[in-house]
Structure 1
Amino acid sequence: MNHQMDADSDSALVAQIHDQGLQLLESFDSTGDLSVLTNATLMLQKAVDLTPPDHPDLSSRLRDLGISLSRSFQQTGELSTIDKAIAVQQKALDITPRDHPDLPVLLNNLGISFSCRFERTTEYSDIAGAISSLQRAVHMTPDGQPNLPILHNTLGLSLLHRYERTGDLSDITEAISVLQRAVEITPQGHPVLLNQLNNLGLSFLRRFERTKELSDISDALSALQKAVEITPQSHPELPSRLSNLGIVYLRRFDRENELSDLADAISVQQRAVELTPQGHSILPVRLTNLAGSFIRRFEKTGEVLNIDEAIVVLQRAMNLIPQGHPKLPLTLMSLGASFHHRFTSSGENEDLESSLSFYKAAATSDVGLPQTLFIATKHWAARLFKYYPQSTEIIPALDRTLGLVSLMAGLEKTVRGRHSQLETTSGLAPRAAAGACELDRADKAVEWLEQGRCLVWSQLNELRTPLEDLRIHDPHLAQSIEEASRALEHAGTSRQQSHVGMSLSQKITLEDEARAHLDLARRRDELLQRARAITGFESFLMPPPCSTLMEHLPEAGPIIVINIDENRCDALALLAGLDEPIHIPLPNFSIEKANTYRTILDTKLRGHSLRSREVEPRGVTPAPVGKRGEDLSVHRVLRCLFEEVVKPILDTLGFSKVDRSAAEVPPRLWWCPTGALSFLPLHAAGIYRGPNQESVNDYAVSSYTPTITALTDRVKNNHLIDSTASGLFLTSHPSVSNAPAIPGTTREVRSIYERAKESGVDALKLEGDDMTVAQCLEHMQAFSCIHLACHGSQNAAEPLKSRFLFHNGSLELGTILKSNLKHADLAFLSACQTSTGKETLSDEAVHLAAGMLAAGYRRVVGTMWSIGDKAGQDVATSFYEYLFTRRGDNDIADFDGTHSAVALHHATQALRISLDDSERSLLTWIPFVHFGL
């Protein structure tokens, strides 16, 4: 009996301690007194320590301790505190039955803590954990429950945080939707409404910063003004809402250029700083925001007093912000900008040195969002180029910049997500390469172009890299990397994108898949680190140096990388047997000329429908002339490309004209253009009118490659190709639903098929309804060569959804990439625009031809624009006739595409000779292009 009384007494004492802790926590919520919060945490920790493991109240006491620890972290920023909060909350969740009514609250608390830690560490796994927990909490809470608005609010805020980490627009759209729902279901006067309005306004602001939609900044301002108006003056969250409101005023100033907005921004941000307690972890961030407004006012008015004030505020922030804080690079970068502004006014070299020092510190920081570090490195490199163009720091600055691009578009994202991220960095690699050429570092120019272009295809190629060398040293490790790579490729190409219209259960499933995807990426990184610890594998699957790129060049001819930038244009020729690229400046070419030529070509192509109309009658047509007498003809485009780009390269490399009368086969060369040049037909550059006609075709057989590695890997791994299967699979689909008919493709395929059989080539032909998508994939796996005569649909926004249209469905590029095409050799894509890219991703080669290379084909024939039926049939027939009659040249009895580049050269030149020199005739044969070996 006495023992029972003692137990009851002890239990009551523990409950009393716990209640006292809760009372202190409530007192802190109203006063913001940090000492009260510290005592609350101590009391709640003591209550947990005194509670037996099997006590029914342990879960709730752990919950309350977790809340107190999380609040402490928000005040102090101590990582150990939030680590402990998450551990405590996870334990509370683990011991709570799955059907317990407190489960949504526990999930919500855990999600908040994950989100808080993410703000401190920027670790993607933390924000993924937050969203996963919060989605489950919302899903488990019935409509009408009083805590549902709170759950929606915390979920929306976490989605906002993830958007700030990834830049994925679907996250910010979802955040706005969730937060709008939170506001709708929250009763007027409810305390959580203030927080919801703040978060909703911040979400509209972030979307405005991305899309520049004026309605978003108006909605942001409306929500945040209301939040500030109804927040009591003594409320501890008022400074946060004022600071956010100031940012909105500043962004509207950037858009509307009204000085009143700038004045309002400074006013409310100054008040936010004044109301923030000394020692609060958020104070440096609010000081940095205030300094940003002073910087803007200097830029607007030129009054140096503003920049002096900004520097004072930022230096105060620097003194307060702890080392290792993710916001530190932003403060450093703002200091760099401030000192640079003051340098432009004062001319004091000390200010310039300070600016460069702060930019460098921000760029090389070990913490911070990759996007922030990326911006800092760009500024650092740009300032070095401008003021110290021979500085030894330029190379490491650009190295850092290109490395951050790879980090921002990492393998934990879907292919779509990576392409979305890369749109914000478009043109960086050519800009860096131009800088390297300026420094006479052709090797670095090659490395940076290779590292910063076609990144997504390069990642897919890396995931498929044979691991034979590693397998010799550690077969188990090689197998583990291979399995992780295969799973990562599948996740990146197949994982669906969440959208607002999905049910919450679907979103939870997708979030689980996203977290598994993240875990896969981490596991593979860990495995790669293990491999790099092995002697001789220190650079295993890392971006290769130029010396490595030069090791496996094709013997048949050079790869010519042409870099185009605002400041200069250069060719970089890589030849087998040389240790360094040959640098060929192109001073007579420019990015403006490239854009002009592309505009002329686009205008001509829009004016012609080559599918419905064939070539014009023979005869010379006058060159079109612009309003100012400018030659706007296709002939001008091809002539200028030849004179300004191609001929200087050919002359430098010692190419000479081929004697056609002796049936001499021209040497090979591979074009690897960048930027706007990617949309221009280098393979057809030439002078096609007048007494001195000549073109690149008189000197060489042209092919293209999206990257150097896309070609050299095929040279290097040629011995690993499975050649046990060969033969030609042909399919034609003259018309599909909702698409215009394509007369002639059936004739094309039947003609090739009959000729193949006559030549003894193993061939299979399936037409129209005779073939399903599954059968096509099956035949692609069985045959080394495929001829697709059908409609092609290119999806530049989501390249893996680019597809070939059949009668019984469509074959997406993503599906092809997932297939194990061990025998893939040649793909002839007799469809329109299969090698056309996307302007905002000009260096990513987001087209079907590059995709088929990524899928494993060693060579691909595609088209740059629409082709005519007769021209398509003539070129294809002539192409295969050339291959069929030369099957024995390489001692391989079966059919393959070894001579495909020469075959296409032969076929297009035969078509060209049969036509006149009109624009329409040129546009008839030029579209056909060859990629790969």
Structure 2
Amino acid sequence: MLRSRFDRSRNFSDITEAISAQRRALELTPSGHFLLPGRLSDLGNSLNARFQSTGDLSDITEAIATQEKAVKLTPDSDSSLPWRLSNLGIALILRFERTGDLSDSSRAISALELARDMIPVGHPNLPSLLSNLGRTLEVHFDRTWDPSDLAKCISARQKVVELTPEDDEEMPSLLLDLGATFRRRFEQVGNPTDSDEAITLQLKAVELTPEGHAGLPHRLDAVGNALSARFDMTRERSYIDAAISKQQKAVKLTPRNDPSFPGRLINLGTSFMRRFEMTKSPSDIDNAIAAQTKAVELSPNDPVLSTMLGNLAVSLMCRFEQTGSASDLAAAEAAHQRSVDLIPDGHGSQFALLRNIANASYIRFNKSGDSRDLEKCISQYESAATCRVGTPYLKLKVAARWARLLRRHCPHSPQILPAFDMALGFVALIAGLEQTVKGRYTRLQSDSGIALEAAAAACSLDRPDKALEFLEHGRCLVWSQLNNLRTPLDELRIVDSSLADRIADISKQLEYTGSSRATAHISMSLSERIALEDESQSHLKLAQQWDDLLQTARAIPGFENFLKPSPSSTLLHHLPASGPIIVINVDEGRCDAIALLSGVDEPFHIPLPNFSLNKAKKYRTDLKILLRSGGFRLREKEASTVLADEPAARPIKPLNRARRDGDVIHGILRGLWNDVVKPILDALGFSVHPTSTEVLPRIWWCPTGAMSFLPLHAAGIYTGSKSESILDYAVSSYTPTVTAISNRVKNHRAIDKSVSGLFMTSQPNAPGATSIPGTTKEVDSIHSMGRGNGKRVLRLDGGDVTASDCLKHMENYSSVHLACHASQDAADPLQSRFLLHNGSLDLATILQSNLKNADLAFLSACQTSTGEEKLSDEAVHLAAGMLAAGYRRVVATMWSIGDQPAQEVASSFYNYLWSHSDGNRDDGFDGTRSAYALHHAVQQLRHRLDNSESSLLTWVPYVHFGY
């Protein structure tokens, strides 16, 4: 009764008298008495209450000891055990919030989770316990930055909302807490769905709160924070305007003596500062500084004040950058120094403080030119990147900034390469296996290009080996992850078969979950969202188990580098003997080629000083406009019809006559020849025209960035007396990465003769797409030719084959020819698909199949290797997807193809393959010479045509990928 009165009156003598009475009761309770555990727990709760008023650590330490004893003395069968565990968890988390000892928060989570698991479904006190668990997980996350803490917190808070009646007075607070957790995860992971959830939930909390309610200011402030965080990611003005509006109202409704008032001022000031970054409006930065200064004046000296001072210092430096005011500079430096003095090492705000000091130092350097300011800036960025706290996404930003500043201002610094190494490590973390494939690609869109910058820096330092590693480790991340999940485990199985089996099992589950897990959307019910979060937690656990299993494997002697990115030296051990792999890197500052040759121990660096990123972008843009305006979007001649290959066309300004007269495609191919391909051939000694296709060497092109969209395989001069091209010197193939080829060389194996053969299908009338009757003739020709050569071939057309049939035949035939429409999904590449009369066949389904004997895939469809500009280094096209699915080689198209040329190329291609089978007349099929076959087929078509623009655009799109 005394404690209850204290809860209402806050009369300190009440809680002191309550504790005295409870201690006396314990003294009078015999050891072993059935009431002893309950009395211990009651005393612990009273000590908790007094600690929350006084902050006396002796009270909370005694509370924990008594709660531990109460739990120990309570039988497992006692229905009170869950509540005593809960009380223990609450006491532990109270001490954690004061001391920061992670062992307390970990023990609190364990106690509360155990209590949750003991409580029967439907118990009226379950929501309260789940709320305590959610809060505990949230504060634990503030120190650990462990994504599983946030996932569990969301799950607990969702279930509290589900178990609480909609008209319950606590519902707005519950929605607010859940929304705040989604916002935290959005800030960590950057998934827009989490931001949508946060804003929706918190707006609903505000809607349910009547005007004049004491909780309204807090709820308005929370919505403002969610909107401000969304603006920080999207830079859409409407979000920050709405955030400021909500936060201004929150500040207006908060009494000046309310302990929350300074925090709401600081949040409002931060939003004004964010808007200033966009608008450069003096009123925005003045409002930011005014709000933040007032917040600092009203706050006690503690770590929270440190964060406020850091935010104020940032705003002052922003105004100093604009006005040059010495007083702003002095005030910012004083605020930063005071912030440093207040914050303990390892505090959750330490990362932001280091980053802010670095930003301020760079602003000062730009004003003063003093090298000491630059040195401090670079040092602070390094400290922030290596700080114990901070999300991978934020650390990526500062690590990249650190590397870029070193490259710009200290171009010979030995720290440049380690800085880029660290940045690329964070890129891999933000696109981790715990996310869906679509989620990974979404994150990678905003951070593309870092690997190319790193490689350019390495080339500047004459380290082509490091440049190669940067490009291999920082590009095509999702396909590399998939390759790791599918890596043969034969060697590990010899040493530890059980571990190999567990890795194989987790691999399959991760691959399936990454491509199949649904994404939350606004129309989902709460129960559906809870189920989705449960799936998300399971996915996260799988990813953590995968990491743990890799660490176990790497502890085995000889497996220290198991599934780690390969160093340059390893890549050079497994190169094809028939020709070099040429990696081409293009960056703002320079363009370089790195040639890898079998038998040569070092990468061969070939600078390309006459080419640039601007040229690559111009060529790409010119080519895109040419293809759109010239009617080359479709497979057939009716250029007015839109295919499923791409979305409905947006109006594009056609090339003007002057540019058309300049023959754009000839200019692009000539520029690529003169500035890129010919210098590479000269450096490699490719100076003599071979006499026939049979003795041409191979070249594997591995372009990066904007180069990925350019036809290097057709570079040349096609007019005048001195015409020459790459086709005269080598047979070209492409590869997304060097690893994709080196793995094929390393793991070369013969095709199982029982599945050696060709499955083909034509789909002339897929629903929703234009008719392509030429596909039937194309497959007619191939089928007749294969049967005439005694080959094992199967043909099924149109409605005679379903998607599942097609997949089954792909498993039973080593090679496949798909003459159809294709649809590329850049946002979620695993949903890219081949369109059939009866449904469609997507990459996700193909990847989940057993294609261990896959050899050749001929994709006679439009734009199957086009890619996506926002993900130029992720190879998000069907050709790369088929390589990832297991096919060793793929024939694809860079843009749309015509029916008649498609028939000619396919017929010539297969005729070459079957006529160059070394007299082998068995019924198998071998795609080993597919690159030569495509080269021959394209040459046949090319020589039948003239060298006009339209003729070039007819044969140039055909490309070969893989080994």
TM, length-normalised to structure 1: 0.94
C-alpha spacing 1:476/1:56, structure 2 compared with 1 (3 Å): closer
- Paired residues of 1:722 and 1:822 also in contact (CA < 8 A): no
Residue 372, structure 1, aligned to residue 372, structure 2: no
Distance 1:143 1:489 in 2: 39
2:609 to 580, 587, 600: 587
Deviates most, 298-307 or 593-602: 298-307
SS of residue matched to 1:563? strand
Are the counterparts in 1 of residues 636 and 897 from structure 2 also a CA contact under 8 Å?
no
Cα deviation for residue 539 of structure 1 reads 1.5
Q: Which residue of 1 aligns with 2:74?
A: 53
**Counterpart-to-counterpart distance in 2, 1:5 and 1:751:** 94
Q: Secondary structure at the match of 2:863?
A: coil
Shift of 1:16: 6.7
Partner letter of residue 186 of structure 2?
Y
Per-residue CA deviation, residues 492-543 of structure 1 (Å, 9 max, x unaligned), is 1221112222122222222122111111111121121122222222222111
SS at match of 1:282: helix
C-alpha contact 2:400 2:450 (8 A) present in aligned 1: no
Q: Which moved more, 1:876-885 or 1:321-330?
A: 321-330
- Equivalent residue number for residue 16 of structure 2: none
Q: Report the counterpart of residue 687 of structure 2 in structure 1.
A: 656
Question: Residues 624 and 633 of structure 1 are in contact (CA less than 8 Å); yes or no, is this contact kept in structure 2?
Answer: no
Instruction: Please tell me whether residue 492 in structure 1 is matched to residue 501 in structure 2.
Output: no
* Pair 1:635-2:666 in alignment: yes
Partner of 1:619: none
The superposition leaves residues 129-154 of structure 1 with CA deviations (integer Å, 9 ceiling, x where unpaired) of 10111111112223212222222111
Q: Which residue is 2:855 aligned to?
A: 825
Q: 1:361 to 1:743 in 2, by over 3 A?
A: same
Q: How many Å separate the matches in 1 of 2:547 and 2:308?
A: 36
CA contact (8 A) 1:828 1:860 kept: yes
d(CA) in 1 for partners of 2:253, 2:539: 43
Could you say if the C-alpha distance between residues 16 and 399 of structure 1 is closer, same or farther in structure 2, counting changes exceeding 3 Å? closer
Question: Which structure 2 residues correspond to residues 671-820 of structure 1 after superposition, within 5 A?
Answer: 671-719=701-749, 722-820=752-850
Once the two structures are superposed, the pairs formed by residues 883-922 of structure 1 within 5 Å of their partners are 883-888=913-918, 894-922=924-952
**What's the offset of the Cα at 1:48?**
7.1
Change (3 A) 1:40 1:56: farther
CA spacing shift, 1:228–1:39, aligned 2, 3 Å: farther
Aligned residue identity for 1:86: I
- What is residue 675 of structure 2 aligned with on the other side? 644
Q: Does 1:541 align with 2:572?
A: no
Alpha carbons of structure 1 residues 533 and 722: separation in structure 2 relative to 1, 3 Å: farther
Q: 1:553 to 1:140 in 2, by over 3 A?
A: same
Alpha carbons of structure 1 residues 130 and 720: separation in structure 2 relative to 1, 3 Å = farther
- Could you tell me how far apart the structure 1 residues matched to 2:340 and 2:754 are? 66
Contact 1:723 1:823 in 2 (8 A): no
Cα offset for 1:315?
A: 2.8
Deviation at 1:82, TM superposition (A): 2.9
1:284–1:318 Cα contact (<8 Å) kept = yes
Of residues 186, 202, 206, the one that matches 2:225 is 202
Instruction: Give the distance between the partners of 2:655 and 2:146, measured in 1 at CA.
Output: 58
Inter-partner Cα distance in structure 2 for 1:6 and 1:671: 79
1:868 aligns with 2:898: yes
Give the letter for the 1:129 counterpart: K
Q: Secondary structure at the match of 1:342?
A: helix
Q: Quote the Cα distance in structure 2 between the aligned partners of 1:12 and 1:582.
A: 76
- Partner Cα distance (1:10, 1:587) in 2: 84
* Cα distance between partner residues in 2 of 1:759 and 1:455: 42
Deviation, structure 1 residue 127? 0.3
Instruction: Please give the alpha-carbon distance, in whole angstroms, between the structure 1 residues aligned to 2:411 and 2:149.
Output: 41
CA 234–80 in structure 1, closer or farther in 2 if over 3 Å, else same: farther
Cα deviation for residue 353 of structure 1 reads: 2.5
Q: Which residue, 637, 640, 649 being the options, matches 1:613?
A: 637
1:57 deviates by 5.5
* SS of residue paired to 1:410: coil
CA distance in 2, matches of 1:614, 1:91: 67
Equivalent residue of 2:795, what SS? strand
Q: Note if contact 2:790-2:923 (Cα within 8 Å) is conserved in structure 1.
A: no
For 1:26-66, what per-residue CA distance to the aligned partner results, in whole angstroms no more than 9, with x for missing partners? xx5xxxx5527974785587467457626665545654564
Tell me the secondary structure at the aligned position of residue 860 of structure 1: strand
SS across alignment from 2:897: coil
Residues 614 and 868, structure 1, Cα contact 8 Å, conserved in 2: no
Unaligned runs of 5+ in 1: 616-622
Task: State the AA in 1 paired with 2:260.
Answer: E
Q: Tell me the distance in 2 between the aligned counterparts of 1:9 and 1:668.
A: 85
Deviation at 1:111, TM superposition (A): 1.1
* Residue 323 of structure 1 pairs with residue 350 of structure 2: no
Return the offset for 1:93: 2.2
Amino acid at match of 1:208: F
1:501-516 superposed matches below 5 A:
501-516=523-538
Give the aligned partner of residue 120 of structure 2. 97
Q: Which residue of 1 aligns with 2:240?
A: 217
Shift of 1:322: 2.5
Distance 1:663 1:482, change over 3 A: closer
The match for 1:361 among 383, 394, 409 is: 383
CA distance in structure 2 between the partners assigned to 1:524 and 1:648 by the alignment? 45
| Match of residue 163 from structure 2 | 140
Shift of 1:364: 2.3
Q: Deviations over 1:626-645 (max 9, x none)?
A: 76999462111111111111
Structure 1 distance, partners of 2:70, 2:638, is: 89
Q: Distance in 2 between matches of 1:301 and 1:275?
A: 27
Q: What per-residue deviation string (whole Å, max 9, x for no partner) do you get for residues 141-184 of structure 1?
A: 23212222222111111111111111111111111111122222
Match of 2:578 in 1: 556
User: Per the alignment, in what secondary structure is the counterpart of residue 961 of structure 2?
Assistant: strand
Is 1:478 equivalent to 2:468 in the alignment? Answer: no
Letter of the structure 1 residue corresponding to residue 334 of structure 2:
V
The 2-side partners of 1:46 and 1:250 are apart by 49
Quote how far apart the aligned CAs of 1:384 are: 1.7
Name the SS for the 1:434 alignment partner. Answer: helix
Tell me the TM-score normalized by structure 2.
Answer: 0.91
CA-CA distance at 1:19 after TM superposition:
7.0
Q: Which moved more, 1:651-660 or 1:388-397?
A: 651-660
Matched, 1:311 2:333: yes
Mapped to 1, the partners of 2:134 and 2:559 lie a distance apart of: 40
Tell me if structure 2 keeps the 8 A contact 1:336–1:354.
yes
Please give the secondary structure, in 1, of the residue aligned with 2:764: coil
Q: CA deviation at 1:105?
A: 1.9
Contact 1:836/1:865, CA 8 A, preserved across alignment: yes
Deviation, 1:8, is 9.9
- Aligned-residue CA RMSD (Å): 2.6
Task: Determine the structure 2 residue equivalent to 1:258.
Answer: 281
- 1:395 equivalent in structure 2: 417
User: Kindly tell me: are residues 276 and 721 of structure 1, through their superposed partners in 2, closer, same or farther at Cα, counting changes over 3 Å?
Assistant: farther
| In 1, Cα distance between equivalents of 2:546 and 2:693 | 53
Deviates more, 1:738-747 or 1:477-486: 477-486
Q: 1:326 to 1:553 in 2, by over 3 A?
A: farther
The answer (yes or no) to whether the contact 1:325–1:368 under 8 Å persists in 2 is no
- How far apart, CA to CA, are the structure 1 residues paired with 2:325 and 2:760? 71
Q: Distance in 2 between matches of 1:628 and 1:789?
A: 34
Match of residue 436 from structure 1 = 458
| C-alpha deviation, 1:425, in angstroms | 1.3
Distance 1:679 1:736, change over 3 A: same
Measured at CA, do residues 75 and 262 of structure 1 come closer, stay the same or move farther in structure 2, by a change above 3 Å? farther
**Residue matched to 1:620:** none
Could you tell me which of 16, 19, 35 is aligned with 2:55? 35
Of stretches 690-699 and 58-67 in structure 1, the one that deviates more from structure 2 is 58-67
Q: 2:478 aligns with which of 456, 459, 464?
A: 456
Further displaced range: 252-261 or 471-480: 471-480
Query: How far off its partner does 1:70 sit?
Result: 4.0
Q: 1:759 to 1:513 in 2, by over 3 A?
A: same
1:408, 1:421 within 8 Å by CA — same for their partners in 2?
yes
